[in-house]
Structure 1
Amino acid sequence: MLVFETDRVRVRDWSEADGDRVFDIYRRWEVSRWLGAEPRVMSDRGAASKAIQRWNERSREAPYGVWAVEERATGTIAGTVLLAPLPEPSDGTAGRGEVEVGWHFHPDAWGRGLATEAARGAIEHGFTAGIGQIYAVVRPDNVASLAVCNRLGMRPIGRTRRWYGASLEAFLI
C-alpha cells in the first residue's frame, strides 16, 4: 500500500519480493552499526522476511509505520523510513508518547538527499495525522544522519540516554 509520495520517492509498505534488498541493506555493517542498543548485521535472508512481516504489522497502526522507500525513476528500494512511537524510556522516567522519525538507507543511495526527502515526507505524514512533535535520535558519531536532522530543520535538544539504552543526540521538530 502506498503511504505517500514525494518528487523522487514512493513510500509504501514492504512486500515479500523486497526481501533480497532488505537483506542487502541490513547485512551491511556500515548501515547496521547505527541501529539499536547493540548493533548487529542481519544474519540471513530469512531474517529479512521476518523483518518485513514485523514492519508490515507495525504499519497497520496508522499513522505509524516502517516503510520501503522506492525511487520513482528506477523502482529500486533505496532504504527504509519510519514513523513510530519511541520505546518506553530506558532512563527510568515515564514515557510521554513521543514519536520518532528514522531512516536507514543502502550505501548506493547515500549522498543524494533521498533520506532527507523521505524523512520530510514522513514528518508531514505525521503532522497531517495530528502528531504535534516528532523526534529523531542519532548516534553522536553518525555524521550523515546528524546532517539529515539539520536539513530537516530539526532542533537539537542534546544528548540523552532516554531511549534504546544508548547515548544518542536528540532532535525535535
Structure 2
Amino acid sequence: MNVLSTNRLTLRPWLVEDASAALEVYGDAAVTRWLSPEMDQVPDATAMKLLLQQWIAESARLAAPAGRWAIERKDDGQVIGGALLLPLPPGQEDLEVGWQLRPDLWGHGYASETTHALAAWAFRHDVYEVFAVVRPGNTRASSTVRKNGMHWVGETSKYFGLDLEVFRLRVADIDPAAPASAGPPARD
C-alpha cells in the first residue's frame, strides 16, 4: 500500500502500534455517531488493536487505489485520524472517500488535504469520480465535503440501507486541465 503526502500530512498504512492514537478518534462518540452501521464506537485499546488488524488485512486484499490509511501530521509525527478509499456496498461500483479526525483537530483543513490526496491517488488509477456519503443532519461533514469541491448529487438509501446524502468529486473538479468529459458518463 502506498504512502500519500500533502503539505502537512502523511497518509500511511495503519500499524497495530497506532491503537492508542486511533482510539482517540474511533473511541469518541462525536466521531462514530456519524459512521456507517458497521462501525461502532470502539470501547478500549484491545478492541482498537483488533480493528486495526482487520483494517490492515483488508487493505492488503484490496486492489489499488482502495485502502485505509492512518493520517499522520508531518510536523510532530502524531496520528490524528484515519482515511479510507473503499468500494461502497452493495455493488462495489462506487468508490467512497472518507476521513475521521480527532475532534480537537476539526476545522484545521486536514479533511480537505486528505480528501484531495485520496482523490488524486484514485484519479491516477483510472478512477474518474469518488463519492462521499453523509448522514442527514451531519452538517459539519456536508459543509466539509462542499468546501473540498464535492458536488451534491442527491439522496439515496442504496448504501448501507440508510438514507444518505451523496456528494461527488470528478477529475475535472480538481484538475482544470482535464477535459470536462473525462471518464464514463455520470451516474446520477
Asked if Structure 1 and Structure 2 have the same fold, meaning a TM-score greater than 0.5 normalized by the shorter chain, the answer is yes
Structure 2 unaligned runs (5+)?
170-188
How far off is 1:162 after superposition?
1.1
Pair 1:124 & 2:110 matched: no
CA deviation string 1:26-71 (max 9, x = no partner): 1111000001137631122111111111111222222111110000
- Please say if residues 37 and 165 of structure 1, whose CA atoms lie closer than 8 Å, have aligned partners that are also in contact: no
The structure, 1 or 2, with the larger RCO (C-alpha pairs under 8 Å, 6+ apart) is 1
TM-score, normalising length: structure 2:
0.84
Aligned to 1:66: 68
Sequence identity of aligned pairs in percent?
35
Structure 1 unaligned runs (5+)?
89-94
Aligned to 2:179: none
Q: C-alpha root-mean-square deviation of aligned residues, in Å?
A: 1.5
Matches within 5 A, 1:1-173: 2-37=2-37, 40-60=40-60, 61=62, 62-88=64-90, 95=91, 97-173=93-169
How far off is 1:96 after superposition?
6.2
Q: Secondary structure at the match of 2:160?
A: coil
Aligned to 2:173: none
CA deviation string 1:85-131 (max 9, x = no partner): 0011xxxxxx3611110111111221100011111100110000111
Give the total of aligned pairs.
Answer: 167
How far off is 1:17 after superposition?
1.4
The structure that has the greater radius of gyration is: 2
Which 4+ stretches in 1 moved above 6 angstroms?
none
1-side partners of 2:40 and 2:92: how far apart? Answer: 29
